[in-house]
Structure 1
Amino acid sequence: MMSHAGRMRLLMAGAGLMLMAGPAFSLDGADLVAKLNAAMGIPGAPLAAQTIDVRGSTVTLRGATYKPVETEPAVNLGDITLEGVEEDAGGYVIEKVLFPNVNAAEDNTTVTISDISMSNVTVPADTTGDSLASVLLYEEASTGPMTVTVDGKEVFSVASSVSTTDVADDQSAVGFAIDVQGIRADLSTVEDVKSRDALQSLGLTALNGSMTMSGSWQAEEGVVDLEEYVFDFADVGTLSMALSFSGYTMEFVRAAQEATKAMDTNASKESQDAAGLAMLGLMQRLTFNSAEISFQDAGITNRALDYAGKEQGVSGENMAQMLKAMTPMMLAQYNVPKLQNMVSEAVNTYLDNPGNFTISAKPENPVPFPMIMGAAMGAPNTLPDVLGVTVEANRRQ
């Protein structure tokens, strides 16, 4: 049997090994912040902290500040807590990021935001790769209630917001979604008397609604599909948008970041012009696939016709007839007879029975942005055909 002295020597040796091994396994808070800044793609070090406190797998950035533009003052964030931090192939995985509540006041305006957090954040070790493994990503970001008050009166608020992402197993694509609920805006505080009277006539003393968005980005192919971008407001209507384009690769993203850095770090006119030309050149790498914008009426159209008619001394029905007659005359000057007929027919259908109004652009084949720009400058009347534009009213959803 091992003697008491032998057991003590063994325990002391084990303790010594643990103490020597400890620093090798502890988190490097400074490296974590440095990699976070590198992944943001913003000049300098936008995220900073007075002190970085590392305790086990929890990292606290005390007195954190954020400065996205070097020439602008930094924004004080307070203490940010990162829980469940682990190293991962030179990068980091963060289980939870907790931000302090916001209570910012300037002049007579106060903004408050509570319950701000992010979960399952991945910080890349290297930001120069060709896949999403080199991009700062998160699984979910959310906030609780947000309010904006002016002179003590609440003028805007949001009940909650949630943003989620879903990365493909091979890191080639990411899906994203945003859900903002309980949007409320008090329009009775509009100072201009005429505008306030108009809003009251339209029944818009307040807006209540939501915003949702969803889509995907195939990083390797550079395809961005904004499948749904919807604003839905009670007693007004629903505005829906969709967009798809190609060419938005990792190489494009980095080139755009470099151009942005050049604009932020050098304010001279020559540098700004050069960066602007670089951005214009980048836009020519993109290809247009499709787009659509649609409005589903929830009562605002007839109220708008009544108001506009009252201003002209006629009824809302007569105002609708006037608009029907004006539409083809207004479009005739653009020399697009096919589009003119489509729009006129759609306007007539919609004004007779407000339902939905949809404008779509779906070319037979994707159209490079330079071709669109060339048509817009040289022969704008050909754009509807180039983009495959259609206009419809009261389409079945």
Structure 2
Amino acid sequence: MAFPTVRRRAATFIVPALLIGVSTLPAAAFEPTGNTIADAYLDVLESGRAKVVSIGSVETTAQVIALKNIEMETTGLKSGTVAIAITELVNGSLNKDGRLKVDLLTVEGLEATSGKNGTVHVSTAVAENITLPSPAQLKGPTGDVKDDYWQFLFDQLDVQGIRLSGNGASPIDVQQIRLRQSDIQNGVSLKSEVSVAGLNIPADSLGPKGSKQLTDLGYDSLQVSAEVNGAWEPLTGKLNIDNSTVMFKDMGDVSVSLTLGGFTKEIMAKLQAADDATEPEEVLGLLQSLTFEKAELRIDNEGLYARALETQGEKYGMDSKTMEMQMSLALPLLLGQLQDEAFRTQVNDALAAFIANPRALTLAANPTTIPTFGLLAGAGILAPQSLPGVLGLTVDANLAK
């Protein structure tokens, strides 16, 4: 099942909308407020992808600047409007490089409407110890607007009460999205955490096919939470994703850990430059030099297996027990395409154990000799049967967490 295009675009729109707007063309300058920090913030908005049309009022104290009823217009492919009821900046200051630093940035009552992409509503968003990109960084040397949202540095960004609506489907709600950054060195966060709580995706928002798949299983919505943790070691070039889990209520959990190598500062800079220049072939070439060190995928069943078994059984006129028995008998045939006999036996045994006691499946990769992605791509094309050995794949059922 996949999100319709409108929802995918809306989801990627949230954080940028909170801070810099979403139009595709740079806009004319706003009317200065007379406050240096407020004008610097509005300058960042307009250096991104929005035009500030009006500001209801600007209120200042010794430490707090409050901008009320900001109205913005967006043009181009994502034409529409952005309205922010209240924006507060606590202890704002300008760095020597022109970047605006704010101890506490609060946005309340944000609503962004973007044509066919629907509407995003955010109740509150609070960023702690945030440093925004300078207008020059957002525009780049040629004046083109850049989508370098990674240049926003903060200790924590807490977004609550998110609603994505449009296209006549039921709205998608998110109770909270929290992002944390730490170990910031030379303007780059080396450790990041993302958590999502209370994501509710109604079946009808998944489109006709996705909605039918979900309702056939007896669900009227997807209720999701997630935790993702990552770290980058620029000296060694290692990129680690640890303890990353997506939890589907009454379905199951999917957990992933991954370690890649070769992400040095030089490679990261080249990848960024190639991406900015829209050169996919160069990006692919750079990715081939990266290394695959280890990975693990774990799926914990929390009810989905039984529902899927029942649904498939009904489709073929069988009860769940008969369907389960047929699956067990069919395993050798289904796995016949696996040419690595030892790996085929291992997969067969793990699946048989899971069918008998459907708790968890784990796929792990621990290569003895660390391969590059270029080598893996070549093996996948020329000798796919060698991949289980090259990757050091193992499959297990019902391992303890």
Q: Smaller-chain TM-score range?
A: 0.7 to 0.9
**Structure 2 Cα separation of the partners of residues 249 and 326 of structure 1:** 47
Q: Counterpart of 2:124?
A: 115
- 3-state SS of paired residue (1:61): helix
**Structure 2 Cα separation of the partners of residues 323 and 204 of structure 1:** 24
Q: Report the CA distance shift for 1:361/1:391 in structure 2 as closer, same or farther (over 3 A).
A: same
* Aligned partner letter, 2:131: T
Q: Counterpart of 2:102?
A: 94
Q: Counterpart of 2:331?
A: 327
| Candidates 161, 169, 183, aligned match of 1:167 | 183
Q: Counterpart of 1:386?
A: 390
- 3-state SS of paired residue (1:305): helix
**Structure 2 Cα separation of the partners of residues 317 and 229 of structure 1:** 34
Q: Counterpart of 1:143?
A: 159
Q: Is the 8 A contact 2:78 2:117 kept in 1?
A: no
Gaps of 5+ in 2: 1-15, 51-74, 138-149
Q: Is the 8 A contact 1:96 1:120 kept in 2?
A: yes
Displacement of 1:188 in angstroms is 5.3
Q: Counterpart of 1:228?
A: 243
Q: Counterpart of 1:55?
A: 35
Q: Is the 8 A contact 2:83 2:112 kept in 1?
A: no
Q: Counterpart of 1:262?
A: 277
C-alpha RMSD of matched pairs (Å): 3.6
When Rg is computed on C-alpha atoms for both structures, the one with the higher figure is 1
List per-residue Cα deviations over 1:69-102 (Å, max 9, x = no partner).
Answer: x984567555666542334453543323344612
- 3-state SS of paired residue (1:350): helix
Judge which range, 81-90 or 307-316, deviates more: 81-90
Q: Report the CA distance shift for 1:289/1:76 in structure 2 as closer, same or farther (over 3 A).
A: farther
**Structure 2 Cα separation of the partners of residues 109 and 168 of structure 1:** 35
Map of 1:269-284 to 2, 5 A cutoff? Answer: 275-284=279-288
Q: Is the 8 A contact 1:229 1:240 kept in 2?
A: yes
* Aligned partner letter, 1:55: N
TM-score by length of 1: 0.74
Q: Report the CA distance shift for 1:107/1:387 in structure 2 as closer, same or farther (over 3 A).
A: closer
Q: Counterpart of 1:180?
A: 196
- 3-state SS of paired residue (1:235): coil
Matched, 1:242 2:251: no
**Structure 2 Cα separation of the partners of residues 251 and 283 of structure 1:** 13
- 3-state SS of paired residue (2:171): strand
* Aligned partner letter, 2:35: R
Matched, 1:366 2:351: no
Displacement of 1:53 in angstroms is 4.4
| Candidates 222, 231, 235, aligned match of 1:216 | 231
Q: Report the CA distance shift for 1:245/1:76 in structure 2 as closer, same or farther (over 3 A).
A: farther
| Candidates 63, 80, 92, aligned match of 1:85 | 92
* Aligned partner letter, 2:214: L
Displacement of 1:197 in angstroms is 5.5
TM-score by length of 2: 0.73
Q: Counterpart of 1:11?
A: none
* Aligned partner letter, 1:95: D
List per-residue Cα deviations over 1:177-220 (Å, max 9, x = no partner).
Answer: 1111111122156664x865553342211222311111211123
Displacement of 1:315 in angstroms is 1.4
